[in-house]
């Protein structure tokens, strides 16, 4: 900004940032569920309301950001034939009491996310419940022509911070590991890396612009991989007598 103001706009004579070094920023370590913790989380999610189960599973196995899930509509974003979601919109804030629906975080965030069969079966079950509830609401329906999958009861999408508060309650009630809602997304990536999945495929699923971005963000090694990597070199321990054939 100061460079532009100095060299292009000629608004100031000298750039006050010239010669200053950038401050060192320690990268924040990602938090996520290990495999056994993820399994426990899914078990817990099957003890709560199906709507929230599907929302949080969407984050943990679909890598969906908070606002992406909130913006989903049945008729626009669900592809039953391909078994997944089209991510084209996001609700990340509220303006004058109304949800601000806009494009997701970046151009690469627009993507198709394929979901496992068990999730789509649950989604179909929820869709039948959703239609029945809408019919029972009658004139009390406030969603108009919108068909938000995760709505607050009368058709309007949830307030953008509601999932965060809901996740905190579930986490505390069931004693799950203390990670943020956004860390469910990190969990998906970490488990896929741990499973040896192709980095390009992971990058597309999570909605990053390039494989390098995914590698830079998730360059850490999961605890399981770290242990396995170290143990591999035990075979070269010179203090262990090698049995001859």
Which homologous superfamily does the CATH classification assign to the domain defined by 28-227? Answer: Intergrase catalytic core (1.10.443.10)
In angstroms, how far is CA 188 from the centroid of its own chain? 8
Distance CA(203)–CA(210), nearest Å, equals 7
Q: What is the pLDDT of residues 6-59, one digit of tens each?
A: 777 778 878 887 777 766 555 566 789 999 999 999 999 999 999 999 999 999
Q: What is the DSSP letter of 96?
A: T
**Is the separation of the CB atoms in 88 and 75 below 8 Å?**
no
Distance CA(184)–CA(64), nearest Å, equals 9
**Per-residue model confidence (pLDDT) at position 190:** 86
Buried residues in 33-60 as b, exposed as e (16+ CB within 10 A): bbeeebebbbebbeeeeeeebbbbbbbb
Pair of tokens at residue 62: 């679909």
Give the pTM: 0.79
Can you name the residues that pair with 86 across neighbouring β-strands?
112
Residues in the chain, pLDDT under 50: 221, 244
**Per-residue model confidence (pLDDT) at position 112:** 96
**Per-residue model confidence (pLDDT) at position 224:** 63
């Amino acid at each position: 900004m100061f460079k532009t103001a100095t060299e292009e706009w000629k608004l100031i004579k000298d750039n006050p940032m010239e010669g200053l070094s950038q401050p060192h920023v320690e990268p924040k370590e990602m938090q996520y569920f290990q495999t056994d913790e993820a399994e426990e989380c899914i078990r817990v999610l099957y003890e709560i309301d199906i709507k929230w189960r599907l929302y949080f599973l969407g984050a943990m196995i679909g890598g969906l950001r908070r606002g992406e899930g909130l913006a989903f509509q049945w008729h626009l974003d669900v592809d039953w034939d391909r078994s997944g979601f089209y991510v084209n919109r996001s609700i990340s804030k509220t303006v004058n009491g109304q949800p601000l629906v806009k494009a997701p975080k970046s151009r690469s965030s627009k993507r198709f996310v394929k979901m496992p069969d068990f999730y789509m079966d649950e989604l179909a079950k929820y869709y039948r419940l959703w239609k029945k509830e809408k019919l029972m609401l009658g004139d009390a329906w406030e969603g108009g022509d919108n068909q938000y999958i995760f709505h607050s009861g009368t058709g309007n999408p949830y307030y953008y911070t509601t999932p965060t508060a809901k996740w905190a309650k579930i986490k505390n009630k069931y004693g799950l590991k203390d990670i943020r809602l956004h860390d469910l997304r990190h969990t998906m990536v970490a488990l896929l890396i741990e499973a040896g999945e192709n980095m390009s495929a992971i990058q597309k699923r999570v909605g990053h612009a390039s494989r390098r971005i995914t590698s830079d963000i998730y360059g850490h090694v999961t605890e399981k991989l770290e242990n396995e990597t170290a143990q591999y070199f035990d075979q070269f321990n010179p203090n262990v007598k090698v049995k001859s054939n």
